[in-house]
């Protein structure tokens, strides 16, 4: 089965290389048949990689420890669910997953556009196949998941070797969110190759209107959504598995996932200006190039060994090749952009600072400043080591000091932007639009001050959250009232129909609402409390309004780990409200590696978060750490609202879908007639 997997990868490489050169040749000779063969090769390479993926999953499920990846990532007593998840438990298997997702996206693009954009498609296919070929070469020759273990006999000969058991999956990955987190994150990282490919094709063919943007808008939005969900799942995993009481620690690999999401957010806002006003064309092409490269940079960070992270793989040979690839792509993209500058001129100029175009531009600048700040903080230890020979660590204080003010300014623009009109906003309309949001925001600020709150950033965050919330409610209120007058529908039905009739606009407002909710949750970090105590059954500890009484400590054994479990009764106001059981686990197949299983009591107001750190130094007591984390619930709830808002935005419009279908049929007939004529 391992030989079949390697053969399928080699076949896929041959097909992708053929697709690369055939698409360029077909475009140069204007031969549709050659381009069609390149597109079929792209789909065939996807099928071949699927067979390779199935082969590796079979090897993992059957515990074939003669394969190095299987031996390193699984063990016999590991549940089947985690055996299959071990596909991405080491960098060679994760590379195969990356290749597979890349191939699937390429195949979908080819199939979707088999009758459309025939001038651009050869170059789209070429970019996609170049990208796929690069990763296939790395996967086959430097990080092959089908490599077999061998042992050297006394005579110098080698033979196949299969150990009795494997090392097991990293215990930190044995959590449901981590089973789905890497694939979802990969969908986000890789998906940006599609709008990037269309942008390069538009540059080559000089079709630099909004066609390539309209074509890839849904791709970009779905990719952005996957990346955002991946970030949230990673935060959830860190919150409940690492046991440090938080969900975001500005880890380098966390940062590498955040950066393309920030750049992608800027791109999604910026393309609206190009679609509506024909502006920011150079900016949009640059943004999608940056976003795509930041996705590649994310996997470079995890595989190069240049940074230390709980998320990163061990040092591998892949890092330098990623660096060369990024430099090649950046150089080629900049050359095309500079060469096509005459075709990238804006159709209009910015009329006023007080306009929606201006708000979008400021929003873009702030997002890129935030992205650069994260990049600088992430790479500063590496840069300082190169320049001075000393690795200077940049910790959370740097990111918080830089990120919090930028985040608050972005929150302000989230509320201000929709209140501005296109081109120019009159002072009178501004007064009318800002009246209630400003009044209610200031009223909340006064109430918070009267309640004793003095933290500047907390006051600003809650005040701005109220401001943005009121602007969103105001937009829904105005639109719904107009619809009620016109249709006679009741208010609730009118609001639903208003949203469904203007999905892109009101779905965007729901996403903005999600941002407000998440900011509320993030602001709660300012009120976190923590206490630790060595306890035995019968002892009590106090944190906030909670009293924790330890009633039992129990040790036991499961299929693939041993555990110690503390049982604590939680009292509030003298009443028993919860029984919590934090655990410490020690995994047999992972050389005694341990994990912390947090006990969590989560409510909208606050989370009670309890950790069993382990036995104290004297071995007679057990270290219990308790955290009270206010408002964390709103981070997860806001993420769910963001998903809902994005899905609403993605809903197709029935009329446009029908029109597109008719157009596709007409185009198909015309194209096929042209092919036959040739």
Domain shared by 242 and 373, yes or no: yes
Residue 581 pLDDT greater than 70, yes or no: yes
Q: What is the mean pLDDT of residues 93-99?
A: 93
Distance separating alpha carbons of residues 257 and 311, to the nearest angstrom: 11
Least confident of 2-16, 458-472, 557-571: 557-571
- Total tally of structural domains belonging to the chain: 4
Give residue-wise pLDDT tens across range 442-461. 999 999 999 999 899 999 99
Which stretch of 65-79, 157-171, 240-254, 481-495 has the lowest confidence by average pLDDT? 157-171
Weakest-pLDDT range from 118-127, 415-424, 586-595:
586-595
pLDDT for the residue 355: 85
Same structural domain, 562 and 649 = no
For residues 625 and 646, state if they share a domain. no
Secondary structure class of 626 (helix, strand, coil):
strand
Q: Which strand (E) or helix (H) includes residue 599?
A: strand 599-602
Residue 278 DSSP label: S
Q: Is residue 666 part of a domain?
A: no
* Mean pLDDT of all residues in 520-546: 94
d(CA 201, CA 92): 31
Q: Clarify whether residues 45 and 70 are in a common domain.
A: yes
Between the ranges 528-537, 555-564, 581-590, 615-624, where is the mean pLDDT highest?
528-537
Q: Average pLDDT, stretch 482-498? A: 92
Mean pLDDT of the residues in the chain: 89
Check whether residue 40 and residue 104 sit in a common domain: yes
> What is the model's pLDDT at position 160?
82
First to last CA, the chain: 44
Contact 113, 218 (CB under 8 A): no
Question: Which residue has better confidence, 617 or 512?
Answer: 512
CA distances from 509 to 219, 429, 503 (A): 20, 20, 10
Check the CA dihedral 23-28-34-35 and report its sign.
positive
Domain with 1 in it: 1-151+159-174
486 and 575 in a single domain? The answer is no
pLDDT band at 421 (very low <50, low <70, confident <90, very high): confident
Residue 197 maps to a domain: no
Task: Please tell me the predicted confidence (pLDDT) of residue 662.
Answer: 41
Q: How far, in Å, CA of 103 to CA of 136, rounded?
A: 10
Give the list of residues 6+ apart from residue 101 with CB closer than 8 angstroms, or none.
183, 186, 187, 190
Whole-angstrom Cα distance, residue 29 to residue 145? 39
Residues 337 and 413 in one domain: no
Share of the chain above pLDDT 90, in %: 63
Give per-residue pLDDT as tens, 176-230.
Answer: 777 788 889 999 999 999 999 999 999 999 998 888 998 899 999 999 999 999 9
Q: What is the pLDDT of residues 657-676, one digit of tens each?
A: 434 444 344 444 443 444 34
Q: How sure is the predictor about 656, in pLDDT bands with cuts at 50, 70 and 90?
A: very low
- Domain check: are 167 and 230 in the same one? no
219 and 345, same domain (yes or no): yes
Same domain, 414 and 367: no
Q: At what angle do helices 456-487 and 396-416 cross, to 10 degrees?
A: 30
pLDDT for 277? 85
> Are 628 and 649 members of one domain?
no
HSE-up (13 A, CA, CB side) for residue 400:
10
Phi and psi at residue 434, in whole multiples of 5°?
Answer: -90, -10
Share of the chain above pLDDT 70, in %: 93
Give the mean pLDDT of 32-59.
96
pLDDT of residue 666: 43
Residues 237 and 305 in one domain: yes
Task: Tell me the pLDDT tens digit for each residue of 362-378.
Answer: 999 999 999 999 999 98
SS3 454: coil
**Predicted confidence band of residue 8 (pLDDT cuts 50, 70, 90):** very high
Does residue 357 carry a pLDDT above 80?
yes
């Amino acid at each position: 089965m391992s030989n079949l997997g390697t053969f399928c990868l080699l076949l896929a490489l041959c097909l992708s290389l053929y697709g690369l050169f055939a698409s360029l040749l077909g475009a140069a000779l204007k031969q549709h048949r050659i381009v069609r063969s390149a597109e079929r090769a792209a789909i065939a390479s996807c099928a071949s990689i699927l067979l390779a993926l199935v082969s590796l999953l079979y090897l993992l499920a059957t515990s074939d420890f003669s394969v190095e990846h299987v031996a390193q990532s699984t063990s016999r007593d590991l549940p089947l669910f985690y055996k299959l998840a071990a596909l991405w438990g080491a960098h060679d298997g994760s590379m195969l997953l990356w290749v597979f997702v890349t191939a699937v996206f390429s195949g979908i693009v080819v199939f979707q556009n088999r009758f459309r954009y025939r001038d651009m498609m050869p170059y789209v296919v070429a970019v996609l196949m170049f990208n796929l070929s690069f990763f296939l070469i790395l996967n086959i020759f430097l990080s092959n998941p089908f490599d077999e273990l061998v042992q050297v006999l006394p005579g110098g000969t080698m033979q196949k070797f299969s150990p009795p058991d494997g090392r097991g999956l990293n215990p930190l990955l044995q959590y449901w969110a981590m089973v789905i987190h890497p694939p979802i994150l990969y969908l986000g990282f890789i998906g940006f190759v599609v709008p990037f490919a269309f942008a390069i094709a538009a540059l080559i063919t000089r079709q630099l209107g909004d066609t390539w943007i309209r074509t890839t808008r849904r791709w970009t939005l779905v990719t952005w959504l996957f990346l955002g969900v991946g970030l949230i799942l990673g935060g959830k995993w860190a919150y409940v598995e690492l046991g440090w009481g938080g969900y975001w620690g500005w880890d380098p690999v966390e940062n590498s996932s955040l950066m393309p999401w920030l750049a992608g957010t800027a791109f999604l806002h910026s393309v609206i200006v190009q679609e509506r006003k024909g502006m920011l064309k150079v900016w949009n092409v640059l943004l999608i190039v940056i976003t795509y490269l930041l996705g590649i940079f994310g996997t470079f960070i995890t595989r190069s060994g240049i940074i230390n992270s709980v998320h990163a793989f061990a040092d591998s040979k892949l890092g330098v090749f990623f660096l060369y690839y990024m430099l090649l792509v950046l150089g080629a993209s900049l050359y095309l952009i500079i060469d096509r500058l005459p075709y990238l001129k804006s159709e209009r100029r910015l009329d006023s600072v007080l306009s929606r175009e201006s708000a979008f531009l400021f929003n873009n600048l702030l997002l890129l400043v935030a992205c650069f700040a994260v990049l600088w903080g992430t790479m500063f230890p590496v840069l300082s080591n190169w320049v001075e020979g000393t690795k200077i660590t940049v910790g959370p204080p740097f990111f918080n000091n830089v990120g919090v003010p930028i985040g608050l300014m972005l929150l302000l623009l989230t509320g201000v932007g929709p209140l501005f009109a296109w081109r120019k906003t009159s002072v009178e309309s501004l007064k009318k639009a800002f009246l209630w949001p400003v009044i209610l925001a200031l009223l909340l600020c006064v109430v918070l001050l009267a309640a004793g709150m003095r933290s500047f950033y907390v006051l600003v965050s809650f005040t701005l959250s109220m401001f943005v919330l009121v602007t969103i409610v105001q937009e829904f209120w105005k639109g719904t009232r107009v619809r009620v007058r016109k249709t006679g529908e009741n208010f609730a039905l009118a609001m639903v129909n208003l949203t469904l009739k203007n999905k892109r606009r009101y779905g965007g407002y729901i996403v903005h609402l999600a941002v407000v909710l998440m900011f509320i949750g993030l602001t709660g970090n300012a009120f976190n409390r923590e206490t630790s105590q060595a306890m035995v059954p019968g002892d009590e500890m106090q944190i906030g309004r909670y009293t924790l009484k330890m009633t039992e400590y129990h040790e036991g054994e499961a299929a693939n780990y041993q555990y110690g479990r503390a049982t604590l009764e939680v009292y509030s106001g003298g009443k028993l409200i919860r029984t919590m059981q934090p655990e410490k686990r020690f995994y047999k197949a992972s050389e005694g590696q341990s994990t912390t299983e947090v006990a969590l009591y989560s409510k909208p107001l606050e989370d009670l978060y309890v950790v069993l750190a382990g036995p104290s130094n004297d071995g007679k007591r057990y270290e219990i750490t308790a955290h009270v984390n206010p408002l964390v619930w709103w981070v997860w709830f806001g993420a769910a609202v963001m998903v809902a808002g994005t899905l609403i935005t993605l809903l197709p419009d029935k009329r446009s879908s029908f029109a597109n279908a008719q157009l596709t049929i007409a185009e198909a007939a015309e194209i096929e007639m042209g092919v036959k004529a040739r």
